[in-house]
A = this chain, B = another copy of it.
C-alpha cells in the first residue's frame, strides 16, 4: 500500500513540476535548462509528499495543494544547487550525475537556484494556488515556508555548516545545524500541509514535532550511509564526511550509538503521528521506511 500511494504522489508531482518548466528549445545552455536539470531528474520528493500527505490526513485534498508541494521541492532543489557550488561545499556530483554548475557553469547554476527560489513564491501566490485554497491559506503557507527556508531556518543551518567546517564543533551544534539545515524545510512541508487543509494550530504543532524528530533521524541515517555505503549504492561519493574531517553523528557517537539514536527518534516521530488518527498509517510506514533506508 505504501508503495502504491508513493507512486501516485510521485507521478502527480513529476507531471506538475514538469508543467512549470516546459522543455526548452535546442539551446540547452541556459538558466531554464539548468533549472530543469536539477528539478526534474532524481530526488525522492520526500518533502512535497509529506506536504500532500499531511494535507490529506487533516482532511484536505492533496491534488489541490500540488502547487505548494512543488514550491517546497523547488526550494529544496535551489538549496542543493547553491550548496554544491565551489564557494560552498564544492561538490561535483549529486544524485549520481554531475552537479548543476559542472553541467551549466557557475553563473547559470547560481541563477537557476535564484530562479527556483523565486518561482516557488510565484507559484504559491499565483492564481491556481490562490483559487484552490483561498488567499488566506495560500499566504499562510507561503509564510511558513519563507520563515523556515530563510536565515532563521535552512540558510541559518548552511551558515553554521560553513562556519564549523574544519573546526571542532560539539554534538549540540551539529544537532542545531541539522535542525535548521534539513529539519526546517521538512517542518515547513509538514506544517504547510496542515495549514493548507485548514487544520488548527495544535495539529500544526504536532506536525512540527514530528518533522523535528523525523528530520534528525533522517540526517543521522544519512551520516551512517555515508560512512558505510558504497558510491554505487548511493549514487554519490561516500566517506566524503570523513575525507573532509567533517563532524557527523557517526564521528560523535560511533556507528552503533548513532543507529540507536536514529531508531529512538524514528519512534518519537511515529508516536507524534498518533494525534492524526487512523489515517496516519501511510505516514507511519513512510517514516519507518525513510529512517531505515539503505540508500
Contacts and interface: CB of A to CB of B under 8 A. Distances in A.
Given A35-B151, A117-B117, A111 B159 contact: yes
Contacts of A130: 139
A106 interface: yes
Nearest to A156: B31
Interface in A124-146: 125-126, 130, 134-136, 138-140, 142-143, 146
B31 A118 contact: no
A12 to B, nearest CB: 23
Given A82-B114, A87-B110, A155-B115, A122 B139 contact: no
A158 B111 contact: yes
Given A108-B162, A111-B158, A139-B130, A151 B31 contact: yes
A242 interface: no
Nearest to A89: B107
Give how many copies assemble into the complex: 2
A285 interface: no
B162 A107 contact: yes
A32 B122 contact: no
Of residues A107, A142, A162, which shows the largest number of chain B Cβ atoms within 10 Å of its Cβ?
A107
A230 to B, nearest CB: 30
A32 B138 CA distance: 28
A246 B107 CA distance: 18
A158 B107 CA distance: 10
A121 interface: yes
Interface string A95-124: 000000000011110110111011101100
Contacts of A149: 118
Of residues A31, A87, A136, which shows the largest number of chain B Cβ atoms within 10 Å of its Cβ?
A87
A92 to B, nearest CB: 16
Nearest to A163: B30
B159 A146 contact: no
A30 B159 contact: yes
16 contacts: A31-B156, A87-B110, A108-B159, A113-B114, A114-B117, A118-B146, A118-B149, A118-B155, A122-B143, A122-B147, A122-B150, A125-B142, A125-B143, A134-B135, A135-B138, A139-B139
Given A114-B155, A119-B151, A125-B139, 14 more contacts: A31-B151, A31-B156, A87-B106, A88-B107, A111-B159, A111-B162, A114-B114, A121-B121, A121-B146, A122-B146, A125-B140, A126-B143, A135-B136, A138-B139
Q: 6 closest pairs, A vs B, by CB? A: A122-B146, A87-B106, A125-B143, A135-B135, A118-B150, A115-B151
